[in-house]
């Protein structure tokens, strides 16, 4: 019963968190974003003491339930390990006891903590489980999800239905794709071969909760009076933490998956309060049986899962003829070049970040804000110091003052919640004009696109030749009014570099 309850709860949370990172519309976040807020490291970095206290209390009472039910990367490992177990019947009992690799565990934890203290949160987030899961889903599975949505939108449109709408499928950068692919490959190999190896050797959250779970009130124990030493529990333990020779469980590595309870036909593996089992051990003694009887016990175990089959939902969306519509100029005779990213001295961070330093020290690079950004302004950074953390650029859109989605979904505190009124007055940067790129000077034509679309009225057009009212007008920026939204940079017709771009501020200001 415990195992089935754990699986049901884990399945619901895993599906909800996966949809949270796949949902490009932002509609699910108003109901599901709390799931991101209860992840351990985001709660610590956002100094959400209530959440941290609840997770610590949960571990001290029930053990590492968090790793089996709440952590999405832990659940993903269970799914991969379960799939391997279904490939052949012998794989179901493929695990065995192995000593804890404490040197590796605590070294990784020490490096993780040192990176955060040093302000290198982006590097620490590479092994943080929630962020790693977010990058995998958003960068690898997100495009597939969007292609599937576009295929459904095409079918619905032909049926005169607008239940779906097409979206622009955007690969967020080669570095983000490679990082997500390598992370998934490491997780897959370790889980396929050895179950929860990542959790108990690399994951900092697993190590921290493992230290706490040594003192948990409820633990998995072996009743030595009932145990026949058949070894089935140890061979089902994906954490490899059951030592049958000594009849003990390494509670620092046990993730409370309860697979061992299901494997034992004698009821010798139990999940009880620590004081109750202590009383049983005082009068109990280990029962000895021959290896032949142990083998007989093994063969008598019912394989409750042998009739279960893997339901593969292979959503192969073949959009063979998805057209990439190219923007045209001059009646379709000239093709517009793609814009290139300007060399900003200070990267742009969203309104609510307060400062560049505050953002980089708290962001776990889960990229949830990248997923929900409707204008595709946020994208993962490839810089070493801010690796995989979101930064802003305006080649695909601009940051609209009325949009506050990134601040609404951020779980770890780098982007504090802001209202639309607050965002309209927060200056994250200021526009800079490169006059030699302006089409007024290069092509001798009038433009004014930047001034017409500036939402804060920070750009004015003045005569290029002072005093000559017949001369063409060029833009002039009032840096005191500019909020750095990027509308001017995005809509500037100059190619490949805009004639006006936004330079970021180290510390955000209020105008």
Work out the burial of residue 130: count CB atoms within 10 Å of its CB; fewer than 13 is exposed, 13-18 middle, 19 or more buried. Answer: buried
According to the model, what pLDDT value does residue 87 have? Answer: 83
Whole-model pTM: value is: 0.82
Question: How high is the pLDDT of residue 267?
Answer: 87
Structure confidence by residue, pLDDT tens digits, 297-343: 333 333 433 333 333 333 333 333 333 333 333 444 445 567 788 88
Is the confidence at residue 282, as pLDDT, over 50?
no
DSSP annotation string for 380-432: E--SSTTTT-EEE--SS----TT--HHHHH-SSSSS----HHHHTTEEEEEEE
| DSSP states along 59-114 | HHHHSSHIIIII-HHHHHHHHHHHHHHHH-GGGGG--------HHHHHHHHHHHHH
In order, the DSSP letters of 481-496 are T-----HHHHH---SS
Q: Confidence band (pLDDT; 50, 70, 90) for 179?
A: very high
The per-residue pLDDT for 274 is 85
Percent of the chain predicted with pLDDT > 70: 87
Give the mean model confidence (pLDDT) for residues 137-147.
Answer: 93
Question: Looking at the predicted structure, is the pLDDT value of residue 481 above 70?
Answer: yes
Q: How confident is the prediction for the chain on average, in pLDDT?
A: 85
Identify whether the C-beta of residue 486 lies closer than 8 Å to the C-beta of residue 351.
no
Structure confidence at residue 335 (pLDDT): 54
Q: pLDDT confidence of 162, banded at 50, 70, 90?
A: confident
Q: What pLDDT is attached to residue 277? A: 54
What counts of helices (H) and strands (E) characterise the chain?
A: 25, 12
Query: Does position 292 have pLDDT exceeding 60, yes or no?
Result: no
Q: pLDDT grade, residue 502 (50/70/90)?
A: very high
**Is the pLDDT score of 93 beyond 60?**
yes
First to last CA, the chain: 59
Q: What per-residue confidence (pLDDT) applies to 303?
A: 40
The predicted-structure confidence for 458-477, as pLDDT tens digits, reads as follows: 999 999 888 888 899 999 99
Using CA atoms, how far apart are residues 221 and 63, in angstroms rounded to an integer? Answer: 12
Angle, CA 121 vertex, CA 120 and CA 122 arms, to 5°: 90
288 pLDDT band, cuts 50/70/90, is very low
Identify each DSSP E strand in 248-329 by its residue range.
248-249, 269-273, 328-329
Distance CA 340, CA 229 (A): 66
Mean pLDDT check: name the lowest of 237-241, 257-261, 285-289, 494-498.
Answer: 285-289
pLDDT band at 511 (very low <50, low <70, confident <90, very high): confident
Q: Give the pLDDT of residue 506.
A: 95
Structure tokens, 366: 């889960």
pLDDT for residue 436: 93
Q: CA 396, 398, 399, 401: dihedral to nearest 10 degrees?
A: -150
| Per-residue confidence band for 39, with pLDDT thresholds at 50, 70 and 90 | very high
User: Which position has the token pair 């109750």?
Assistant: 276
Helix (H, G, I), strand (E, B) or coil at 344: coil
pLDDT at res. 483: 95
Q: Reply yes or no on whether the pLDDT at 187 is more than 60.
A: yes
pLDDT in tens, 195-221: 999 999 999 999 999 999 999 999 999
Least confident of 27-36, 48-57, 375-384, 415-424: 27-36
Alpha carbon distance 258, 433 (integer Å): 63
* 85-89, 105-109, 401-405, range with the lowest pLDDT: 85-89
> Which H/E stretch holds residue 220?
strand 218-222
């Amino acid at each position: 019963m415990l195992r089935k309850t754990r699986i049901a709860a884990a399945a619901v949370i895993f599906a909800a968190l996966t949809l949270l990172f796949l949902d490009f519309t932002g509609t699910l976040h108003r109901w599901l974003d709390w799931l991101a807020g209860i992840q351990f490291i985001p709660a610590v970095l956002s100094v959400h003491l209530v959440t941290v206290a609840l997770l610590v209390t949960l571990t001290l009472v029930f053990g590492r339930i968090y790793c089996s039910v709440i952590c999405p990367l832990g659940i993903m490992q269970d799914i991969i390990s379960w799939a391997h177990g279904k490939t052949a019947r012998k794989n179901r009992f493929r695990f065995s006891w192995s000593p804890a690799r404490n040197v590796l565990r605590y070294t990784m934890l020490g490096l993780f903590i040192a990176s955060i203290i040093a302000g290198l949160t982006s590097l620490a987030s590479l092994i943080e489980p929630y962020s790693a899961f977010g990058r995998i889903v958003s960068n690898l599975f997100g495009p597939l999800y969007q292609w599937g949505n576009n295929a459904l939108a095409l079918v619905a449109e032909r049926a005169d239905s607008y239940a779906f709408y097409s979206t622009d499928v955007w690969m967020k950068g080669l570095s983000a794709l490679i990082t997500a692919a390598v992370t998934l490959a490491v997780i897959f190999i370790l889980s396929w071969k050895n179950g929860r190896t990542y959790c108990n050797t690399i994951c900092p959250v697993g190590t921290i909760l493992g230290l706490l779970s040594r003192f948990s009130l409820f633990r998995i124990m072996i009743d030595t009076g009932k145990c026949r030493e058949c070894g089935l529990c140890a061979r089902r333990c994906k954490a490899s933490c059951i030592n049958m020779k000594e009849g003990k469980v390494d509670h620092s590595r046990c993730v409370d998956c309860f697979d061992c309870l299901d494997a034992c036909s004698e009821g010798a593996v139990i999940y009880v309060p620590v004081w109750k089992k202590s009383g049983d051990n005082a009068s109990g003694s280990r029962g000895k049986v021959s290896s032949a009887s142990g083998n007989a016990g093994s063969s008598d175990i019912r394989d409750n899962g042998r009739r279960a089959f893997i339901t593969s939902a292979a959503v192969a969306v073949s959009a063979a003829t998805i057209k990439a519509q190219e923007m045209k100029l001059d009646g379709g005779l000239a093709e517009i070049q793609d814009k290139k990213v300007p060399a900003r001295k200070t990267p742009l961070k969203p309104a609510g970040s307060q400062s560049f330093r505050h953002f980089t020290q708290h962001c776990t690079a889960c990229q949830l804000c990248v997923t929900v950004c409707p204008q595709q302004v946020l994208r993962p950074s490839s810089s070493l110091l801010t690796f995989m953390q979101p930064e802003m650029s305006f080649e695909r859109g601009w940051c609209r003052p009325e949009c506050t989605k990134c601040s609404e979904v951020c779980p770890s505190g780098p982007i504090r919640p802001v209202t639309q009124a607050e965002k309209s007055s927060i200056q994250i940067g200021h526009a800079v004009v490169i006059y030699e790129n302006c089409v007024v000077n290069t092509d001798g034509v009038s433009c004014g696109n930047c001034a017409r679309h500036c939402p804060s009225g920070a750009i004015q057009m003045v005569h290029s030749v002072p005093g000559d009212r017949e001369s063409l007008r060029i833009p002039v920026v009032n840096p005191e009014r500019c909020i750095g939204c990027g509308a001017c940079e995005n809509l500037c017709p100059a190619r490949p570099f805009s004639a006006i771009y936004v330079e970021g501020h180290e510390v955000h200001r209020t105008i």
